[in-house]
Amino acid sequence: MMTKNNERSPSFDLIEIKPITIHVYPDGRMDAKNAAAYLGLSPKTLAMMRSNGTGPRYIKPGRVFYYEDQIKEWLQKQDHVVSTEQYRQLHRS
């Protein structure tokens, strides 16, 4: 695309960002599907993390539930990295 001074201007692809709805019970609980959406994960990924013991704390009084405050606490404890290389260095065995 050219500007009025015959300079090239960068072209950008426009993407639509759709809002998501997350249902939280009055006591702060979320079911696994909503907790996964809250974290930006698929429900299957969250289930694997639960199985491996690497995800946030949860309760299972029949169904699996996560408390929002425990999810936030878990997120704060995670390593915050700025690059894939930094992540690799932190997680080498």
In a domain, 49, yes or no: yes
Average pLDDT rounded to a whole number, residues 25-52: 96
Question: Domain residues for 54?
Answer: 29-78
43 domain residue, yes or no: yes
> Is pTM beyond 0.85 here?
no
Domain total of the chain: 1
Q: Is residue 17 part of a domain?
A: no
Structural domain contains residue 68: yes
Q: What is the pLDDT of residue 7?
A: 65
87, 81 contact by CB (below 8 A)? yes
Number of helices (H), then strands (E), belonging to the chain: the values are: 4, 2
- Could you tell me if residue 73 is inside a domain? yes
The answer to whether residue 21 sits within a structural domain is no
pLDDT at 56 over 60: yes
**DSSP strand E in 26-72: where?**
29-31, 65-67
pLDDT reported for residue 3: 54
In a domain, 48, yes or no: yes
Residue 35 lies in a domain: yes
The model's pLDDT over 58-85, given as tens digits with 9 standing for 90+, comes to 999 999 999 999 999 999 998 777 788 8
Percentage of the chain exceeding pLDDT 90: 62
